[in-house]
Amino acid sequence: MEHSKRAETDVGGNPADSPSNSTPPSCRVSFCHLPLRSRLLMIAILLSLGLLGWRFSADNVFWQDAWNQGTLFPTIAGRQLCEARGQSAQYAPRRQRFAFDLSAATVPADKILPGGPPKDGIPALSNPKFITPSEATYLQPEDRIIGLTASDQAKAYPLKILNYHEIVNDRVGDLPVAVTYCPLCDSCAVFDRRTKLGEREFGVSGLLYNSNVLMYDRSDQTESLWSQVLTQGVSGPGAKKSLTALPLELTTWGDWQSRHPNTLVLSAETGHDRNYSLSPYAKYFSTPRLMFPAEPSSDRLPAKSRVLGVWTETVAKAYPESNFSQDRQRVEDVLDGKKVVLEFNAATKSLRVVEADPGVQYMYSLWFAWHAFHPETEVLAQ
């Protein structure tokens, strides 16, 4: 009788309550024993996470914004994932159809990587607007600027604007210049836009080589690519043609204004809707990690040490900011038989070249980028 009732219970469709069909705890929590609705929900969650992971690894803009601002992944796990990807600096972006012909590139084409934004996604400025110091209320004395003097005119280009534009095509007096800044390398260089191909105008290609911006030439139909730190064309008619680097300073707005009271300064009215008070690279500069690989690497200095890089036709030398102090504010040196004199401002922690013989050129950069492009570089002794 008891056996018969037990059998009826089995047939009645409630085997979970039947002692004879009770399953071990490990089986009761397995996926196949979950209710259909729970299984569908779990599948949907896993598919969503997989899609999110693919999107995260495929799109550099997505994870870069998450790193810099911490807004796209509000969870701790998400931020840790961003940092883990950045720590290796071996991010492999989605293969995409480049807008440029790299078939005859003078650097390894497989080392040219998309940085995230497409061609002109970071809009270079042309015909920029300038204002007087009294009108530059958006600037604080400690804000860093690129300072340039030519033809008895002084101009200041704040990095808080260059963070979002990277290139300013301008004229100082009659001199056509390209004021350039790569936030990933903290590299600043000013170039004469008069090249062997004629006067050029530059845009931001969206591509990187050794984590450094590749500019593109808007003035020729093939749109040659030019490397900022290499100071040379790497594709198209501009390949292997050099850019002439002009004297510049990387200092603070307060320091520049005190020495150049009649300076003009780049206006925040650029025609683009940007929040110039917010640095999208604050997180990047707070860690030793890189976003993109740069080769070869060197441990002679921390990767993100700031250096003033000086070069001639045959010699390159790095002058680390950290090798200067209140007790060492001036260095006189000779490179390739040419004299160069550097001075350090301890208050602003900035280096500047105050004297240089013809044939001496220089720019500012982080150590990892300078070394990647100048692996045989000398380094100023401590």
For the chain, domain boundaries: 1-26, 34-88, 109-279, 296-379
Q: In which element (H, E) is residue 3 found?
A: helix 2-11
Q: What is the pLDDT of residues 303-349, one digit of tens each?
A: 999 999 999 999 999 999 999 999 999 999 999 999 999 999 999 99
**b/e per residue, 220-254, with b = 16+ CB within 10 A?**
eeebbbbbbbbbbbbbbebbeebbebbebbbbbbe
pLDDT of residue 134: 97
Q: What is the pLDDT of residues 136-151, one digit of tens each?
A: 999 999 999 999 999 8
Section 185-212 average pLDDT: 97
Q: What is the pLDDT of residues 277-287, one digit of tens each?
A: 999 999 999 99
Q: Both tokens of residue 38?
A: 């729970």
pLDDT of residue 48: 62
Q: Both tokens of residue 356?
A: 């240089």
* Closest to 226 measured CA to CA, from 246, 210, 205: 205
**b/e per residue, 157-172, with b = 16+ CB within 10 A?**
bbbbbbbbbbbbbbeb
* pLDDT at residue 57 is higher than 80: no
Q: Both tokens of residue 119?
A: 């061609």
Per the listing, tokens 């089995």 go with 10
- Type of residue at 321: E
* pLDDT at residue 252 is higher than 70: yes
Do residues 220 and 118 touch, judged by C-beta distance below 8 A?
Answer: no
Rg (CA), the chain: 28
